[in-house]
Chains A and B, each alone.
Chain A
């Protein structure tokens, strides 16, 4: 067996880079900082590719044998109890190795891209420090061998996301967005943590291998329903899924994602498109056997519906956005909804097609979506605006961007032979097998996706020429190269026989395309594209007329279904202004008031009785005799 100990260096290299950059803070030169970051990532990427090569290679292609789940490293980090230690370890299985490749590759691309994009920014070193920190955390999350380690890195990616969204900390909107992202995911993580507590209390372990084992403490038992007709395990899984939904911006915890676009665009590409936001999918996939088997997959049903609703709502909202990055953000949400949906519908079959499909989509999506974001970054870099209404006819000015963007758009719309087509098709196939309505939503969303993506494409690259303050031009090689590379992957990734590597039971599966389904999904995608082309390839009044005719409905979508407002109401009005202010008032006036009252009463009492000491010696004598008599009376009543 190959020795995989070096896997530890994959997360450790970015961490070292973070330490170097973080400690040298603002003293280090921008160039050196960038190089440190990129170099560490280059090494990490090389290592993970090597690892993937040897891991999948070691298998030798035998089709009957499952990929082994390896734990090359494991040590107790903090001993909670003797039976429930908090371990740090590395778990290598197809899922994590695949993620490893995705994360390091995308991260490397973003690191290189940022050299150009962030050039001359204040806090360049800080930016790279945060990027490294994020990469470290994400890799740690991917490699985690137990759920508590996952939680550890889960929080860490949350914080690095917070730091990166708020990178332009002097922009109030960025600060607000960072706060929102952190708090919303934190709220979701609360569920995650409680879920872990419940799960580990009943299972007695954090370890994924044991949790997922068919004869393990979770799956070998029948959990009696205790609450709401479901077992505690179900509720635990649901709570864990709450964490996953928060991180993956699933409805109704999605509100932070669009705002998170306040961060630098490469960050959005890395964190809010390719890696961190799919952590939720990854988590559910990690615990897939548990989700699948506890309460007969009841939790998966929830996952499926949440995914479907998110996919639909996000797609609808994406259609009306005027900010290039927000469109992409909603599309991300929608695509992750797809992945969740796919996981959710994969309960029935033994080969669990949805599982493979979901992760395949995760894989392909990571590349084409980061490509989209990096392309958007190019545009923003060139125009210094995010607003679609200030763009148009850019294909002449930004040819590289144009072509790569187009490839990505085709991929996401599901047009063969681009990667998105293969993965999305598999998802639809899986959904069709299991649940008609979910399939229907998925199918409909596919059309919407094609529509809004090409709305974006046509608005930016076609349409009418705008008055640009200076002639837009593309960035240097360090920005073009990642685009090209990602486009290349987008082109070829679809042909990877993904099922051979990643599947629910670890066995290699071969999946064939169902051309009937594929045809119809290409069809709806084309309809979407054509509609977008009709509406947006040249400047027309029509889109706004349609919008106006839809009236309140349009307004509803534009206001993001008022979900943000509900949150704002709950957070600000109820939590801060009512409970927070209430507690503060209660504390100042009731609790503290009581204490002060005790003091004041004592003082007042003291003043009230001062007259007793009248200065009249005869009064004193009376008191004296009274006292003596009182003693006598006291005695007589006593006996």
Chain B
């Protein structure tokens, strides 16, 4: 619990963070940047979890645990994603998301 900061404010921050992530996801062209945006987005949720736990349901630790797991899974996700991006780069020499559109319609 942080003095002078209400849960609403923290949740607002995390939602803003979430949408910054979304924005990044939607607008970046570099696949790596998109991955970073994704992490931003996941972190926003992690923050949310932790804060909600602390503020609203301080009698258990479920939110905290969840936040930890989110971070861990995010890392795994990034690992897989990076691996694929590397492979992709090998194949097309680019990490531009707009060039990844051979499959469509």
Closest to B22 in A: A625
Q: Is A618 interfacial (CB 8 A cutoff)?
A: yes
Pairwise interchain contact A622-B105, C-beta atoms closer than 8 A: no
Q: Is B97 interfacial (CB 8 A cutoff)?
A: yes
Q: Is A616 interfacial (CB 8 A cutoff)?
A: yes
Q: Is B101 interfacial (CB 8 A cutoff)?
A: yes
Q: Is B1 interfacial (CB 8 A cutoff)?
A: no
User: Which residues 605-628 of A sit at the B interface, judged by CB distance below 8 A?
Assistant: 610-611, 613-618, 621-622, 625
Among A613, A614, A615, A618, point to the contact of B26 (Cβ < 8 A): A618
In the complex, A613→B103 CA distance in Å?
Answer: 9
In the complex, A618→B96 CA distance in Å?
Answer: 12
Pairwise interchain contact A616-B101, C-beta atoms closer than 8 A: yes
Pairwise interchain contact A618-B101, C-beta atoms closer than 8 A: no
Pairwise interchain contact B104-A615, C-beta atoms closer than 8 A: yes
Q: How large is the interface on B (under 10, 10 to 19, 20 to 34, 35 or more residues)?
A: 10 to 19
In the complex, A549→B27 CA distance in Å?
Answer: 102
We find that the number of chain A residues with CB closer than 8 angstroms to chain B is 11
- Expressed in whole angstroms, the minimum distance between the Cβ of B3 and any Cβ of chain A is 33
Among A615, A616, A618, point to the contact of B25 (Cβ < 8 A): A618
Q: Is B100 interfacial (CB 8 A cutoff)?
A: yes
Most buried by B among A617, A621, A622: A617
Pairwise interchain contact B97-A617, C-beta atoms closer than 8 A: yes
In the complex, A83→B98 CA distance in Å?
Answer: 84
Q: Is B102 interfacial (CB 8 A cutoff)?
A: yes
Among B27, B34, B103, point to the contact of A615 (Cβ < 8 A): B103
Pairwise interchain contact A615-B101, C-beta atoms closer than 8 A: yes
Q: Which residues of B contact A618 (CB under 8 A)?
A: 25-27, 34, 97
In the complex, A615→B100 CA distance in Å?
Answer: 7
Pairwise interchain contact A615-B97, C-beta atoms closer than 8 A: no
In the complex, A621→B38 CA distance in Å?
Answer: 11
- Expressed in whole angstroms, the minimum distance between the Cβ of A255 and any Cβ of chain B is 67
Closest to B100 in A: A617
Q: Which residues of A contact B105 (CB under 8 A)?
A: 610-611, 613, 615
- Expressed in whole angstroms, the minimum distance between the Cβ of B67 and any Cβ of chain A is 22
- Expressed in whole angstroms, the minimum distance between the Cβ of A607 and any Cβ of chain B is 9
6 examples of A-B residue contacts, CB within 8 angstroms: A611-B105, A615-B101, A616-B97, A617-B100, A618-B34, A621-B25
Give 6 closest A-B pairs by Cβ, nearest first.
A615-B104, A615-B101, A610-B105, A618-B26, A613-B105, A616-B101
Q: Which residues of A contact B (CB under 8 A)?
A: 610-611, 613-618, 621-622, 625
Given contacts A615-B101, A621-B25, 6 further A-B pairs with CB under 8 A are A610-B105, A615-B100, A615-B105, A617-B100, A618-B97, A625-B22
